[in-house]
């Protein structure tokens, strides 16, 4: 489908992707989006082209933006602990600056599913 957002206007990029989604991928019944603001734009674009969320396409975002609870339908999402993620990133960056070794193993952070109204049962 191309790039998700190139100009920094994620909502507009999401709307464009939503408008193109069913035309280019008529078999699609669900979409997982890497940022809530893109997911909200995709829902808008789908609506503009006559598709229902979640009736025709389920939309799942990733972030846990406050805005996600106020759009219609409310966005189902994967929530991450952004402050913890930032703190770990800063620790690693400072360690690099100080010449410390990085852990070889990947760092895994907990996420949680927040079920709202933008997803439906598998079709």
pLDDT tens digits for range 47-92? 999 999 999 999 999 988 999 999 999 999 999 999 999 999 999 9
Span 22-28, average pLDDT = 94
Q: Summarize the confidence of residues 100-114 as an average pLDDT.
A: 89
**pLDDT band with cut points at 50, 70 and 90 for residue 7:** very low
Look at residue 6 in the predicted model and tell me its pLDDT: 39
Instruction: Please give, one letter per residue, the 3-state secondary structure of the chain.
Output: CCCCCCCCCHHHHHHHHHHHHHHHCCCCCEEECCCHHHHHHHHHHHHHCCCCCCCCCEEEEEECCHHHHCCCCCCEEEEECHHHHHHHHHHHHHHHHCCCCCCCCCCCCCEEEECCCCCCCCC
Say if residues 118 and 59 touch (Cβ distance below 8 Å). yes
- pTM across the whole model: 0.81
pLDDT at residue 3 tops 70: no
Question: What is the pLDDT at residue 93?
Answer: 92
């Amino acid at each position: 489908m191309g790039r998700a957002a190139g100009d920094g206007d994620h909502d507009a990029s999401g709307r464009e992707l939503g408008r193109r989604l069913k035309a280019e991928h008529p078999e699609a019944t669900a979409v997982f989006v890497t940022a809530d603001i893109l997911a909200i734009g995709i829902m808008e674009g789908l609506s503009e082209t006559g598709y229902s969320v979640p009736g025709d396409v389920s939309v799942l975002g990733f972030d846990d933006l406050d805005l996600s609870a106020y759009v219609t339908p409310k966005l189902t999402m994967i929530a991450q602990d952004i402050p913890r993620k930032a703190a770990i990133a800063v620790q690693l960056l400072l360690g690099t600056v100080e010449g410390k070794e990085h852990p070889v193993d990947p760092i895994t952070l907990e996420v949680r599913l927040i079920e709202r109204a933008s997803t439906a049962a598998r079709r």
